[in-house]
Amino acid sequence: MYEKERQELIDCALSMEAQGLIVQSGGNVSRRMPCGNILMTPSAMAYGSMDPEDLVLMNPDGKIIEGTRRPSSDHQALLYIFKHMPQVNVILHTHQPYAVALSLVADELPACTTTLIDELQGAVPVAPFTRSSDEGMGISVVTHCNGSLAVILKHHGVMAYGKDPEQALSAAIYLEEGCKGYLAALATGRPVARLSAEQVAAESQERGYYGQP
């Protein structure tokens, strides 16, 4: 069941690895199916050797419907996010290094570039530390998301999400790019220029001409 969607999640994880957002078996990818069940990568398996049947299908309460593997150790947090954020269909959990570095020195990645506004819907919050593989991580994401397409988990990594794998992956990649730029600006020791609320709002407006028809 869901052969195409299973392969898409593996391909997404491999893209995460290629972009340096995860290493080895770190992180996870999960997707809400139209029926409401959740498809999720298994725990501690290398993505390069993962087959579609290795993914686990479970219901919203965490009961395994299909699959012989153990689901991601973060499954309780992921199920909580899916339950409380109905607009989200795909969640990527990464350990991307620049976002983790930012979490150690800041409480937010401000909406200081057009890319962050366009790809992540504005500033990205840093949520307080919670133990990994715990539902509290999901609770923290839901509590702190504030409209962004990602939340940085202090001392840990990132939850990036969206309506489909492409949007979630784009959010994670551009978040890392934004963190690199912001940390580089901080390293100069000079004040970092900010956009006003009016400028952020103007950039957020639909312009109707980006991309192909």
Tens digit of each residue's pLDDT (9 = 90 or more) over 96-108: 999 999 999 999 9
Per the structure, the count of domains in the chain is: 1
Question: What Cα–Cα distance (Å) separates residue 190 from each residue in 14, 138, 184, 193?
Answer: 37, 35, 11, 9
Distance CA 154, CA 208 (A): 36
Return the amino acid letter for 180: K
Question: Residue 211 domain-assigned?
Answer: no
Task: Flag whether 35 is in a domain.
Answer: yes
**All residues at 6 or more sequence positions from 195 whose CB lies less than 8 Å from its CB, including other chains:** 111, 112, 117, 203
pLDDT in tens, 33-51: 999 999 999 999 999 999 9
Which residues does the chain have with pLDDT short of 50?
none
Residue 213 within any structural domain of the chain: no
* Within-domain flag for 92: yes
Q: Give the pLDDT of residue 184.
A: 98
And the tokens for 4? 């195409």
Task: Say if residues 93 and 78 touch (Cβ distance below 8 Å).
Answer: yes
Share of the chain above pLDDT 70, in %: 99
HSE-CB of 23 using CA atoms within 13 angstroms: 2
With respect to residue 95, please indicate whether it lies within any of the assigned structural domains.
yes
> What's the chain's average pLDDT?
96
> How many helices (H) and strands (E) are present in the chain, helices listed first?
7, 9
Can you list the positions of beta strands (E) in 67-191?
90-94, 108-109, 124-127, 150-153, 157-162
Q: Which domain holds residue 132?
A: 3-204
Indicate the length of the chain as a whole number. 213
Whether the CB-CB separation of 13 and 41 falls below 8 Å is answered with yes
Residues 6+ apart with CB under 8 A from 151: 124, 125, 126, 127, 140, 141, 144, 145, 158, 159
Q: What pLDDT, on a 0 to 100 scale, did the predictor assign at position 212?
A: 78
pTM: 0.95
Is residue 67, in this structure, part of any structural domain at all?
yes
Q: Residue 97 maps to which CATH number? A: 3.40.225.10
- The amino acid at 42: P
Distance CA 63, CA 213 (A): 41
Residue 212 lies in a domain: no
